[in-house]
Amino acid sequence: MSINKKIIAVCLLVAASAFASPKADPVSEVRRHDEELQAMLKRYSPSDKSQQDSLKQMINGMFSFPELGKRALGKTWATLKKPQQDSFVAVFRRMVENSSIKRLESYRADSTKYSPVVGKGDKTVVTAKVFNKGKSSKVVYKLFPEGDTWKAWDLVLDEVSSLRSYRDQFSTIVAKEGFDGLMKRLRKNAGA
């Protein structure tokens, strides 16, 4: 390929990436995830193991477990080596996924109203008002951009923060039993 053709090819690639479809806005991303989750819940059969695994992944698909885990461990995260961090994230994810399948009713919704986005970057917040069987709940998604999508580093349900709950539990356990004690408990809760 001649130099001119290489230059033209590079220019076309740069132009194509500049005009590529923009990242979905956070509200659209949360809405899409919620709609897929509701559709999956409607056809869910607890006896179907593959559906159960798919539902676990769908429920937790908005989360960035590395980011949530890092924030939940606080100062302890920085003291860990990369293999320890990776091991923690894997066990933490399994524990959260296994516990989420036990609380399916909290994910069901008849309808949802979304408020406009507040903030930007890792301070992006999407608030949803969820209606189910005549009751309403407020769900706040704290998000950050990751590649072409948005990932949650916290989910606040009716003023109860997932991140804060995990951080409080983990700091108490680490103070008493160390990081190894926390991992032992997480493995037990994760069924690992």
pLDDT digits (tens, 9 = 90+) for 36-58: 998 988 888 878 888 888 888 88
Tokens of 113: 């109203």
Beta bridge pairs of residue 151: 144
**Residue written as tokens 């894997």?**
90
Q: Which amino acid makes up residue 173? A: I
Helical residues (DSSP H) of the chain, grouped into ranges: 3-18, 26-42, 49-59, 65-73, 75-79, 82-100, 162-190
Q: Of residues 59 and 65, which shows the higher confidence score?
A: 65
Tokens of 130: 């969820």
The confidence score (pLDDT) of residue 126 equals 96
Q: Of residues 109 and 127, which shows the higher confidence score?
A: 127
What is the Cα–Cα distance from 108 to 173, expressed in whole angstroms?
Answer: 32
Q: What is the mean pLDDT of residues 164-171?
A: 96
Is the pLDDT at 13 greater than 60? The verdict is no
What is the Cα–Cα distance from 134 to 173, expressed in whole angstroms?
Answer: 39
Domains of the chain: 22-190 (3.10.450.710)
Pairing of β 160-161 and β 111-114: unpaired
Nearest of 180, 150, 174, 177 to residue 67 by alpha carbon: 150
The confidence score (pLDDT) of residue 10 equals 33
The confidence score (pLDDT) of residue 56 equals 85
Residues 6+ apart with CB under 8 A from 7: none
The confidence score (pLDDT) of residue 98 equals 85
List pLDDT tens digits, range 118-162.
Answer: 998 888 999 999 999 889 999 999 999 988 889 999 999 989 999
Residues 6+ apart with CB under 8 A from 89: 65, 66, 69
Average pLDDT, the chain: 85
Beta bridge pairs of residue 75: none
Confidence category of residue 192, pLDDT binned at 50, 70, 90: low
For residue 41, count CB atoms less than 10 angstroms from its CB and return exposed for 0-12, middle for 13-18, buried for 19 or more.
middle
Show the CA angle centred on residue 96, arms to residues 101 and 186, nearest 5°. Answer: 125
Report the percentage of the chain scoring pLDDT > 70. 88
Lowest mean pLDDT among 1-10, 33-42, 70-79: 1-10
The confidence score (pLDDT) of residue 167 equals 97
Confidence category of residue 75, pLDDT binned at 50, 70, 90: very high
Q: What is the mean pLDDT of residues 65-76?
A: 96
